[in-house]
Amino acid sequence: MSSVINKELPDFSVQAYHNDEFKTVTRKDLEGQWSVFFFYPADFTFVCPTELGDLADKYAELKDLGVEVYSVSTDTHFTHKAWHDASDTIKKIKFPMLADPTGALSRFFGVYIEEEGLAYRGSFVVDPEGKVKISEIQDNAVGRNAEELVRKVQAAIFVANNDGEVCPANWKPGADTLKPGLDLVGKI
């Protein structure tokens, strides 16, 4: 499996359920903003609503950073609406829920499970130029933490805006960063 880090998003056009409407989302809609693609296996499941609810709770914080969130599964936009109408947890979602029934987006990001027609849990951060800057894929039995995703987004934005600086482990806004150079080699 090849990495998607620094790969540019392909052109795409998918249906979405967002704000009680069906709409089309394309690559062009992402231009000029940071984006998070949050893949999960399927609607009407068990771990997925816990993750999506957690992410919904962090959505305002991500929007304040200038980030749009796109949750994605291989379900249709009709299924997303039905799940939204049926689940109090999913009703909290304010971000677009993308439908990927052909698996095209899931395949690009490397999360598609061919034998099941589902996606692994994958979180991806895309910069305003459409390049993938963060990639995390995990087994479907393990849920993710939206707070850690927010921290990674903050770090990616900081690095993009501060040439020559890097963020160490557990970095949070306001904490010290590093400037790689010979003076640091072997001293950290």
User: So which residues are the catalytic ones?
Assistant: 48
Of 145, 172, 173, nearest in space to 55 by CA: 145
From the list 141, 134, 130, 178, the residue with the least C-alpha distance to 156 is: 134
Decide: 158 and 151 in contact? Cβ < 8 Å: no
**Residue of 27, 45, 23, 24 lying closest to 35 (CA atoms):** 27
Answer whether 68's CB lies under 8 Å from 25's CB: no
How would you classify the pairing of strands 121-126 and 132-138? antiparallel
